[in-house]
C-alpha cells in the first residue's frame, strides 16, 4: 500500500486534464450567457431606434396639422431628407419611409381620414416602425386635424 502511494507518476497529467475539463464546462456556460446578452442588447437597440424614429415622424405629422392631406403628402417627399413612397392607391394616405440614419428600420405612416366621423376632419394617425424582417418595433397613435 505504501508503495502505491509513493508512486505518483502521471498524477500531474490527470490533474491537468481534470482542470481543463472543468474550465471548459465553465467557459461554455459563460459564453452561452454572453451570446444571449449580446442578442438581447441588439434587439433593444432596434426597439430604441424604432421609438426615436416613430417619435420623430409623429412630431412631423402633428406639426403639419391644419393643412390638407394632399399638401402633407407632397410636403413629406419634398421638404424632408428621407425618401417616402405611397404604398397603395386604394389607401392614399399610407406612406412607407426609409432613412439612412436608421439603416435596419423603415416606418409606415397610416392616416385614417375622418376616422372619428362625428368630430369633423379629425383623423387617426398611426406611425409604425418595422425592422428589415418585417417585425414591428414600435407603434405610436394620435388624432390629427386635417383641413
Q: What is the pLDDT of residue 82?
A: 57
pLDDT value of position 55: 92
Distance (Å, whole) CA 56 – CA 16: 59
* pLDDT of the residue at 104: 86
Where do runs of H (alpha helix) occur along the chain? 2-6, 11-63, 69-78
User: Exposed (0-12), middle (13-18) or buried (19+): which is 77, by Cβ within 10 Å?
Assistant: middle
Digit-coded pLDDT (tens) for 124-137: 889 999 988 888 88
- The span from the CA of 59 to the CA of 61, in Å, is 5
- Which pLDDT value is given to residue 100? 80
Residue 7's pLDDT is what? Answer: 61
Ranges in the chain, pLDDT < 50: none
The DSSP letter of residue 36 is: H
Amino acid at each position: 500500500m505504501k508503495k502505491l502511494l509513493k508512486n505518483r507518476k502521471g498524477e500531474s497529467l490527470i490533474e491537468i486534464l481534470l482542470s481543463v475539463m472543468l474550465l471548459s464546462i465553465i467557459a461554455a456556460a459563460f459564453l452561452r450567457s454572453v451570446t444571449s446578452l449580446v442578442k438581447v442588447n441588439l434587439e433593444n437597440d432596434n426597439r430604441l431606434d424604432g421609438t426615436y424614429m416613430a417619435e420623430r415622424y409623429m412630431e412631423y405629422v402633428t406639426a403639419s396639422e391644419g393643412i390638407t392631406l394632399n399638401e402633407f403628402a407632397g410636403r413629406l417627399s419634398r421638404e424632408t431628407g428621407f425618401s417616402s413612397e405611397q404604398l397603395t392607391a386604394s389607401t392614399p394616405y399610407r406612406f412607407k419611409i426609409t432613412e439612412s440614419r436608421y439603416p435596419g428600420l423603415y416606418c409606415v405612416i397610416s392616416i385614417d381620414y375622418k376616422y372619428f366621423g362625428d368630430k369633423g376632419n379629425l383623423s387617426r394617425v398611426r406611425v409604425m416602425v418595422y425592422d428589415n424582417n418585417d417585425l414591428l418595433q414600435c407603434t405610436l397613435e394620435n388624432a390629427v386635424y386635417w383641413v
